[in-house]
Structure formats: structure tokens, C-alpha cells
A = this chain, B = another copy of it.
């Protein structure tokens, strides 16, 4: 019984890890499409979001199966429920990449971003990729220290996000309100992507150790 449970939980962890790769790639491509006003890449991200949704549904099914057949209690029960939350966070990260791609499509053939904010989005994109690949790593290795360290990486995104706002608020901003509205929402999408990544990392700590990290 216990062996079957552990095997199924490991398989679930594997599926969640590949979901983290999917959403990391989605945000990488969405960022590239945004920076280069690349419509076909944006559409690829939009088309592939369905795969993330399916992966999430599959993870949830596996978790339901585990709960129904193994009826885990205590820490095991909480671990399985946490995987359901992780799948939900990862799906949301995919949605945020989708929003970035849709913004690119909406403004095409015009680029969404004024030249002077491109470096911020390039770095926010890198930060998002780094978070996703670190998530993937900690999920595969169940590396608690690595998961805890992920919270610091979120600070980097928050800094970039704050700087982006000061650029828009400065008197030198000459791209008008319409560009500012797009940049505001896009900045929010990257920030939320990072928030969800941190939430996943916290749950991994929980799944592995049985205790939520205090923040």
C-alpha cells in the first residue's frame, strides 16, 4: 500500500515538474515574442496553453485517484492536497504567459513596448525563466534548501517591477498613456508569475518536510 502510494506520488511530482517546464517555456517564448513583436511565436504560445490546462487536469485526476484509492491521512493527505494547489499555481503561470502573448497579438504589427523599457522586460523574462527552471529542479530533486532560496529570486522580479514603474512615472516618459497602460499590465503579469512560482516553492517545502516555511 505504502509503496504504491509513494510510487504514485513520485509520478505526480514528475508530472508537476514537466508542467513547470511547459510554463517556463511558454513565458520564455511569450517574452521573445513581446520583445521582437513576433506574431507567429505569440500565436504558438496561445495555441499551446491548452496543453498546460490538460496537464493540470491530468495532475488533478491523479491526485483524486490517490486520495480515493489510498485514503492518505495526516501529512500524506496534506502532501496530496498540496500537489493540487501546485498544479493550480502552475496553470495560472501558464495563463500569465498567455496574457503576455495575447497583448503582443493585439498590438501587432506595432510593437507593444517602447525601446526604453525593453531591457526591463528582457530581464523580467530572464527572471521568470530562472524561477521556472529552479522550480523544475527542486521538484525533481525535492531540494528543500533550493526551494527556500527561490523566495530570494522573487525579490529580483519585485525590484525590476518597481524600477519599471519609476520609468513610467518620470517626466521623461514620452510614450503616452496608452503605452503606459500596456506596460503596467504586462509588468503585473510578470510579477504575478513570480508570486505563483514562490507559492509553488513554499508548497514543495511543505510536501517534502511536512511544515510550511515561515515567511
Contact = CB atoms under 8 A, between A and B. Distances in A.
Interface of A: 64, 67-68, 71, 73-74, 77-78, 81, 84-85, 88, 165, 168-169, 173, 176-178, 180-181, 184-185, 188
Contact of A81 (B64, B74, B78, B169): B64
7 contacts: A71-B71, A88-B88, A165-B181, A169-B178, A177-B177, A177-B180, A184-B184
A153 to B, nearest CB: 22
A178 B168 CA distance: 7
A192 to B, nearest CB: 10
Copies per complex of this chain: 2
A165 B169 CA distance: 19
Nearest to A175: B177
Nearest to A174: B177
Contacts of A185: 184, 188
Contacts of A85: 88
Contacts of A84: 81, 84
Nearest to A70: B71
Contacts of A64: 77-78, 81
A88 B87 CA distance: 14
Contacts of A68: 73-74, 77
A35 to B, nearest CB: 21
A64 B168 CA distance: 46
Contacts of A168: 177-178, 181
Contacts of A177: 168-169, 173, 176-177, 180
A78 B178 CA distance: 44
A118 B188 CA distance: 23
Given A88-B88, A169-B181, 12 more contacts: A64-B77, A67-B81, A68-B73, A68-B77, A81-B81, A85-B88, A165-B181, A168-B181, A173-B177, A181-B184, A184-B184, A185-B188
Contacts of A176: 177
